[in-house]
A = this chain, B = another copy of it.
Amino acid sequence: MSASPDTSAPSRTRKIACEACPLRESGRFRDFTEQEVSFVSGFKRGELTAEAGSTIFVEGSHSPHLYTVISGWGFRYKTLEDGRRQILNYVLPGDLVGLQGTLLGEMEHSLECLSDMVLCMFERDRLGDLYKSNPALGFDITWLAAREEQILDEHLLSVGQRSALERAAYLLAYLHDRASRVGLFKDAPEISPLTQQHVADTLGLSLVHTNKTLRKLQDRQAIRWKEAGFRISDIARLKDIARWDGLPDGMRPFI
């Protein structure tokens, strides 16, 4: 069973120029040429600000947009007709979302905000131009798609083969790694804004059993669950329990 999404409409505005994009400050991206940055600037259609709990797009829609996450947490998910929900992956600053819908026509999954989010919006129609005039940026998009594929491979391994305890440990370690890489824990305390229902729907476990599993991780001093969120106490222990293998880093090429 799943939480029912609160579908309040997100608001739109337009502001920051790509030249001053806060994401590029982090030093986690490759160097772009001036020409590239200005092209992306022209490609950009505006910004979208959405609050926690709102839905950016839903399964079955034909959204003509492509987004880059500027700030906040979100998650992609799919549902079965009877309401069972599977969370596919989490999105963080720097992630590109909506590519599937853009290329393949219909959106086959939904995107919901876990926290307040700001996204940068691009026009689908001009994607072809991007490939023509800036092949390196096209290459970067492919890179991002390949990386998402790799993450999904790992999740599939997790849900298919790991035990409940391993799975939970893996997910929490994964989120911790990704969030700290994009600098989300720079100043704030290291808390991830998930509920246990989110964890359950990601791992394919019931809420009750998820709760018992998380408790076990807490008993082993690997995490601490705070109301609606958790923090990692011992990442090494967590990765050990998870039979952690990887998730290699590597420079991210694209905004």
Point out residues on A near B: beta carbons under 8 Å.
76, 78, 80-82, 84-86, 88, 99-100, 103-106, 108-109, 127-128, 131-132, 135-136, 138-139, 141-143, 145-150, 152-157, 159-162, 201-204, 243, 245-246, 248, 250
Contacts and interface: CB of A to CB of B under 8 A. Distances in A.
Contact of A108 (B108, B139, B153): B153
A149 B147 contact: no
A154 to B, nearest CB: 7
Contacts of A161: 80, 84-86, 204
25 contacts: A76-B153, A80-B161, A81-B243, A86-B156, A88-B153, A88-B156, A99-B142, A100-B149, A103-B147, A104-B143, A104-B147, A104-B150, A105-B250, A108-B150, A108-B153, A108-B246, A128-B135, A131-B135, A135-B135, A138-B139, A141-B142, A142-B142, A149-B149, A152-B152, A159-B160
Contacts of A76: 153
Nearest to A246: B108
A156 B156 contact: yes
A3 B250 CA distance: 33
Nearest to A247: B108
A67 B84 CA distance: 37
A181 to B, nearest CB: 15
Given A88-B153, A157-B80, A138 B131 contact: yes
A123 to B, nearest CB: 15
A84 to B, nearest CB: 4
A141 B138 CA distance: 10
Contacts of A204: 159-161
A46 to B, nearest CB: 23
A153 B78 contact: yes
Given A104-B146, A160-B204, 10 more contacts: A78-B154, A80-B162, A85-B161, A86-B160, A131-B131, A135-B135, A138-B138, A138-B142, A152-B156, A155-B156
